[in-house]
Structures are given as C-alpha cells and as structure tokens.
Structure 1
C-alpha cells in the first residue's frame, strides 16, 4: 500500500531473516505480522505475532525463508524500517531501525512519530 515500485517497504537483515524463518518453522506459522499499538511512555509500541496467513490489506515482504506481514495501520509508520535481530550478553531480540521515529523512550520499548500531515496534532 505504501510502497515504491521495486523497493520493499521494510528490509530484513540476514540475522532477522534467519530468526523469523526459524520461528515460522518451529511454530508452523505462515509469517511474522508486525504492527503498532498505542502504549509506552513515548506513545507507540511495536507489536509482533506469528500468523497463519496474511490478512486483507497486509503488506507482505518475503526474503529467503522469512515472511513479514505489515498490518495496514502500521504501514505508513514502518516504511523504510530495517528489521534486525541481535543477540547480546544479557538479552536478544528484534530491533527496528526506523527512520520515521522522532523520539523513543529510555528503555527502547516505545516510540513517537511526527504528527501526520493535516492531523489535529499538527494543527495544534
């Protein structure tokens, strides 16, 4: 929906691709659906769930054995995002490198985006 011909709406690093493919195989899922919900100290939180199939309106990105489905309400906020998977000494998990984020909380769990053009928040 919010795509540029020839350019995927999100990119997936090799580490994220491997982790998503493994989760899909382990749980016999059709893909990983990502989205956004209101919450957290910065205003929005990323959501992720394994799903059997894409819903109507989902934007689907397939890479190798990984399949990511982007919920329609999140597409404009996630366009240009890189999905990575990091394993550190104390934790591991998916990371979203999102150029649309204007602010994030200290813990990194929630984000804020610029108000949409023409929205009540932008008009003040």
Structure 2
C-alpha cells in the first residue's frame, strides 16, 4: 500500500515545504490520545531515520515511522477549507471506529 495526496493536500504541503528550506519532507503518523485511542500527526520532517518509510508523492516526501505505518498505510490525505477553518482530512482504510468529536480513531 502507500500514502496518497489529493491535489489540495499536495499544494498545501508544497506551501509549507517552500517556507521551510531545511525540511526534507512531511512526517505523517499517529500518537496515542483522545477517547478512541489515536490521532494523526502531520509535521515537517527535518530528517529521515534509517527505519522510516518514505513515500514520494509528486516530489513530496511523506515520512512515516515504523510504529505508525500499520495504522496509516493506505491513507489518502486531503486538505479542506470551510469558512475560517482549514484542515487535513484523512481517508484511512484501517479505521474501525472514531470518537464522536472526530479527533481520534481506533483500528484492529
């Protein structure tokens, strides 16, 4: 499997990377939190560790640590704007449940 980006997500990540020349890509993963178990993390990657998995999406390196990979493999990332709000949105085939507020998720 892989990670995929919509054109909107790709454009948003390109904006961040253009303003941060030291970044080698975008780090995507999960952290334990919330009422359902995990939430997504999206940050600039300053380096790539030897055990990181790297997906290249039209020149954007998506960097994933080995602990997060089973939770996010196959995810499609979008970027949506609604009024004053703007956020990345994740379509993750591994998700089996989400909390009511949408901030965290569970997997098998």
TM-score, length basis structure 1: 0.80
Q: Identify which range, 97-106 or 52-61, moves more after superposition.
A: 52-61
SS of the aligned residue for 2:63 comes to: strand
Deviations 1:30-50 (A, max 9, x none): 111011111101111111211
Indicate if the aligned counterparts of 1:20 and 1:67 stay in contact, CA closer than 8 A. Answer: no
Candidates 25, 36, 43, aligned match of 1:49: 43
Higher relative contact order (Cα pairs below 8 Å, separated by 6+ residues): 2
Give the C-alpha shift of residue 64 in structure 1. Answer: 2.4
TM-score, length basis structure 2: 0.91
Choose between structure 1 and 2: higher strand proportion. Answer: 2
Matches within 5 A, 1:30-49: 30-49=24-43
C-alpha distance in 1 between matches for 2:33 and 2:89? 18
Choose between structure 1 and 2: higher helix proportion. Answer: 1
Q: Identify which range, 15-24 or 58-67, moves more after superposition.
A: 58-67
Match status 1:108 vs 2:102: yes
Structure 2 residue runs without a partner (length 5+) = none
Give the C-alpha shift of residue 66 in structure 1. Answer: 2.0
SS of the aligned residue for 1:77 comes to: helix
Partner of 2:91: 97
Structural RMSD (CA): 1.3
